Structure 1
Amino acid sequence: MSDRRVSRRTFLSASAVTGLSFVGSGARQSTQRTQTSAECCDTCSTGTREKQTRPLQSDGVDAADEGGNHWLAFAWAKHDAGFGRYESTLHVPCAPLDHDGRIVFFYFPAFQSYSGRGGRNGYILQPVLAWNWGGSGQWEIGTWSGSSAHGFTHSKLVSVSPGDELRAVIQRPDSLPGEWYLEMRNTTTGEVTVSHSHRLDQRFRYTYLTMEANRAYDPNNCSYLPGGTLFDEITLTDWHGDRIYPNWHRRRDESFDCPVSVDVHGTDRVAIDVGGVGAGVQNE
Structure 2
Amino acid sequence: MTKFSSRMKLGGYLLAILCMAASAWIPADRAHAANAASLTTVGQLSAAQKPAGVPDDYVVTPNGYFAASCVVAIHQGDKLQAGGMIERANGALEKPATCTQPNYTLQGDRIEPNGQHVTVLGHAPPPVQSGWVQDANYASSTPIGRIVATWTVPSQPSKRGSQVIYFFPGLEQLPNVQSILQPVLGWNGYGDKAWTLASWNCCVNGTTFHSDPIAAHAGDVVVGDTYSNCAPGVACSSWNIDSRNTTTGQTTTLTTNPYADLTWVFGGVLEVYSVATCNQYPGGPITFSNVQVYDRNNNHVSNPPWQGTNTSGITPQCGYGLQTTASTVTISY
TM-score when normalising by structure 2: 0.61
1:6 Cα deviation from its structure 2 partner: 10
Counterpart of 1:176 in structure 2 is 235
- Secondary structure (helix, strand or coil) at the match of 1:217 reads coil
CA deviation profile, 1:30-75 (whole Å, cap 9, x unmatched): xxxxxxxxxxxxxxxxxxxxxxxxxxx4557656343223101111
Counterpart of 2:166 in structure 1 is 106
**2:139 paired residue among 42, 61, 78:** 78
Contact 1:7-1:152 at 8 Å conserved across structures = no
1:114 Cα deviation from its structure 2 partner: 3.7
Counterpart of 2:156 in structure 1 is 95
Question: What amino acid is the match of 2:145?
Answer: G
- Secondary structure (helix, strand or coil) at the match of 2:171 reads strand
Contact 1:184-1:193 at 8 Å conserved across structures = yes
1:230 aligns with 2:230: no
Deviating beyond 6 angstroms after TM superposition, the runs of 4 or more aligned structure 1 residues are 5-9
Contact 1:111-1:205 at 8 Å conserved across structures = yes
Higher RCO (CA-CA < 8 Å; seq separation 6+): 1
Counterpart of 1:67 in structure 2 is 105
Counterpart of 1:124 in structure 2 is 180
Counterpart of 1:273 in structure 2 is 332
Q: 1:139 to 1:147 in 2, by over 3 A?
A: same
The 2-side partners of 1:176 and 1:140 are apart by: 32
- Once superposed, what is the RMSD of the aligned Cα atoms? 2.6
1:260 Cα deviation from its structure 2 partner: 1.9
Counterpart of 1:4 in structure 2 is 36
Counterpart of 2:308 in structure 1 is 250
Flag structure 2 segments of 5+ consecutive residues without an equivalent.
Answer: 1-30, 66-103, 107-129
1:177 Cα deviation from its structure 2 partner: 4.7
1:82 Cα deviation from its structure 2 partner: 1.3
The 2-side partners of 1:8 and 1:113 are apart by: 28
Contact 1:177-1:201 at 8 Å conserved across structures = no
Report how many residues are paired: 221
Q: How high is the sequence identity, in percent, across the aligned residues?
A: 21
Question: What amino acid is the match of 2:313?
Answer: S
The 2-side partners of 1:142 and 1:106 are apart by: 11
1:170 Cα deviation from its structure 2 partner: 0.5
1:136 Cα deviation from its structure 2 partner: 1.4
The 1-side partners of 2:278 and 2:272 are apart by: 13
Flag structure 1 segments of 5+ consecutive residues without an equivalent.
Answer: 10-25, 30-56, 275-284
1:149 Cα deviation from its structure 2 partner: 3.4
Which structure has the larger Rg? Answer: 2
Higher share of residues assigned strand: 1
